[in-house]
């Protein structure tokens, strides 16, 4: 076959088109990026907008704290200009040019209290940053576990689907020998359709969990992230009193409340300091004002020590004092309320967690028993002792037990996260090896 130039051009056009399509498909298909929980939490904390905003807030408070220290240092400067004096119709003009140093020797400890307030504000900003980092990490952990939970549910349904297909084949063979009816075969066909429908819904829920996790991690991670790992079977270590004793050191509401009380107390002291005198020292050197008209003007040095005390301010100081006293009492009451609420939440959360932990342990035994029961029913069906309804019921019991086991593991982790939010610190846990999971996967 002889090809013309037109044929060559057509082949070249087709090749280019196929190449462009291949490149487009490759660009649209993003390989999944596997990510573990520790990496996901660290990445989210580094890129979260609210965390970054609070980092800037810490920098602001650090600058304010440094600015408050300026009150303890002298102020140096220069002044210059002209001075005009009129007396008895005679007007004289002279120059003014001098350097000065102002230093506050005593201000009723007001500057010291304001500096302490700046220190507390800086510490409060740091606490807010740590709390937000911690909360973002827990939120990532929550969606991470939701993803693993949906993934585990899909795996359970896939095993159920596989078992159902095996049952359908068994029943078909029994139908061929006359020991089973057509309705027995139909029962497993209907069950197959139901499982397929549930899988469609679970896969959509899995993608929703992936989207929520991606939102926390940021757009830069790509759309194909794949969380790795599995739901862990954990036990919480330590008794309730151990965690209750940590509340005042770890609870975010309590820590912030402590800082609010400290600020209220210091602000009250600032107002009280206005009842004390102020003492200022000022030194000046150069051509000072007030000497215009003198025939022999030379540079001078002036030193002024000035003490002043305000005797009446229209009741402003007294009213401000009552305000700050009430503010301090309010802050102290809010702190006590925060402690009580934290104690109540931790008590309830800890007890709920221990209940879920006990149920999860018991469900392990149910999975083992259901697995043995299912195997026994399958063997007895093959020998003709059990019917198709018994076979389907045994498989359902095993699937339900596996689903409850996974659900309890997920509920434990979710309750653990809620308790850690209230406590403000991670719980001490032990990861329990779970051989029943491997047995269930093989069944």
Burial of 171 (0-12, 13-18, 19+ CB in 10 A): buried
Q: How far is CA 185 from CA 81, 161, 167, 378, 387, in A?
A: 109, 15, 9, 16, 12
Q: Three-state SS across 57-77?
A: HHHHHHHHHHHHHHHHCCEEE
Alpha-carbon gap, residue 124 to 113, rounded angstroms: 16
- Report the mean per-residue pLDDT for the chain: 85
Kindly tell me if the per-residue pLDDT of 245 is higher than 70.
Answer: yes
Kindly tell me if the per-residue pLDDT of 272 is higher than 90.
Answer: no
- pLDDT number for residue 276: 85
- pLDDT number for residue 34: 86
The predicted-structure confidence for 98-119, as pLDDT tens digits, reads as follows 888 898 888 888 888 889 999 9
Alpha-carbon gap, residue 142 to 410, rounded angstroms: 10
Of the ranges 44-53, 93-102, 240-249, the best mean pLDDT one? 240-249
Mean pLDDT of 244-257: 94
pLDDT range class, residue 310, cuts 50, 70, 90: confident
Radius of gyration of the chain (CA): 39
Residues in CB range of 337: below 8 A, 6 or more apart: none
Kindly tell me if the per-residue pLDDT of 216 is higher than 70.
Answer: yes
Neighbours of 216 (CB within 10 A): 21
Kindly tell me if the per-residue pLDDT of 171 is higher than 90.
Answer: no
Higher-pLDDT residue of 224 and 81 is 81
Q: Which tokens in the block code for residue 66?
A: 């440094």
Q: What is the DSSP string of 23-59?
A: HHHHHH-PPPEEE-HHHHHHHHHHH-HHHHHHHHHHH
Q: Which tokens in the block code for residue 406?
A: 């996974």
CATH 1.20.1600.10 fits 34-83+92-442, yes or no: yes
């Amino acid at each position: 076959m002889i090809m013309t130039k037109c044929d060559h051009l057509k082949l070249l056009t087709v090749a280019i088109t196929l190449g462009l399509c291949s490149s487009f498909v490759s660009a649209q298909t993003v390989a999944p990026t596997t990510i573990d929980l520790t990496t996901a939490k660290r990445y989210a904390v580094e890129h979260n907008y609210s965390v970054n905003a609070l980092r800037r807030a810490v920098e602001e408070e650090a600058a304010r704290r440094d600015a408050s220290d300026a009150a303890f240092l002298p102020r140096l400067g220069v002044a210059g200009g002209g001075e005009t004096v009129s007396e008895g119709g005679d007007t004289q003009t002279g120059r003014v040019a001098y350097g000065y140093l102002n230093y506050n020797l005593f201000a009723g400890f007001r500057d010291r209290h304001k500096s302490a307030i700046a220190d507390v504000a800086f510490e409060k900003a740091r606490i807010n940053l740590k709390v937000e980092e911690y909360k973002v990490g827990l939120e990532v952990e929550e969606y991470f576990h939701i993803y693993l939970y949906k993934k585990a549910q899909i795996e359970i349904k896939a095993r159920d689907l596989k078992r159902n297909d095996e049952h359908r084949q068994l029943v078909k063979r029994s139908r061929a020998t006359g020991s089973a009816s057509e309705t027995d075969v139909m029962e497993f066909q209907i069950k197959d359709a139901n499982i397929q429908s549930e899988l469609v819904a679970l896969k959509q829920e899995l993608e929703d969990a992936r989207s929520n996790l991606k939102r926390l991690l940021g757009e830069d991670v790509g759309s194909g992230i794949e969380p790795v790992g599995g739901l862990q079977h954990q036990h919480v270590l330590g008794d309730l009193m151990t965690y209750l004793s940590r509340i005042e050191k770890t609870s975010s509401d309590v820590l912030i409340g402590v800082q609010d009380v400290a600020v209220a107390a210091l602000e009250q002291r600032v107002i009280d300091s206005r009842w004390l005198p102020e003492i200022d020292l000022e030194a000046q050197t150069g051509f000072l004002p007030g000497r215009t008209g003198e025939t022999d003007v030379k540079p001078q040095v002036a030193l002024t020590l000035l003490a002043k005390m305000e005797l009446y301010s229209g009741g402003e100081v007294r009213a401000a004092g009552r305000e700050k006293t009430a503010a301090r009492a309010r802050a102290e009451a809010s702190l006590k309320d925060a402690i009580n609420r934290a104690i109540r939440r931790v008590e309830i959360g800890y007890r709920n967690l221990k209940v879920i932990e006990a149920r999860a342990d018991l469900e392990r035994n149910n999975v083992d028993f259901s697995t043995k029961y299912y195997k026994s029913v399958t063997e007895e069906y093959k020998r003709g002792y059990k019917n198709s309804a018994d076979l389907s019921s045994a498989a359902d019991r095993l699937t339900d037990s596996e689903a409850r086991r996974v659900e309890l593991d997920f509920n434990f982790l979710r309750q653990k996260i809620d308790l850690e939010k209230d406590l403000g610190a991670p719980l001490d846990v032990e990861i329990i090896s779970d051989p029943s999971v491997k047995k269930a996967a093989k069944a």
